[in-house]
Amino acid sequence: MWSLVLVAAGAWNLVVWPQFWQRVSADPRARDAEGNVTRFFTVHLVLVSVSLALGVAVGVLGVLTLL
């Protein structure tokens, strides 16, 4: 039962965060007037990267515990 919860949580992260990243990338606060990335971009890049890594780890753990 808990294995399925882990797989679902991992899948949720892999579905939600890429869509969030698309919105952040398109946000005008992501780049300054010269086109350079801003702290807004960098902070959200770290947030999305860590969340995706944790999502993958949780999903893999769920799959491994199902076996």
pLDDT at 23: 98
pTM for the model stands at 0.89
Beta bridge partners of 37: 31
Tokens for 45, please give them: 């890049």
Other C-beta atoms closer than 10 Å to the C-beta of 55 total 19
Distance, CA of 46 to CA of 44 (rounded, Å): 5
Query: So what's the pLDDT on residue 63?
Result: 96
Low-confidence ranges of the chain (pLDDT < 50): none
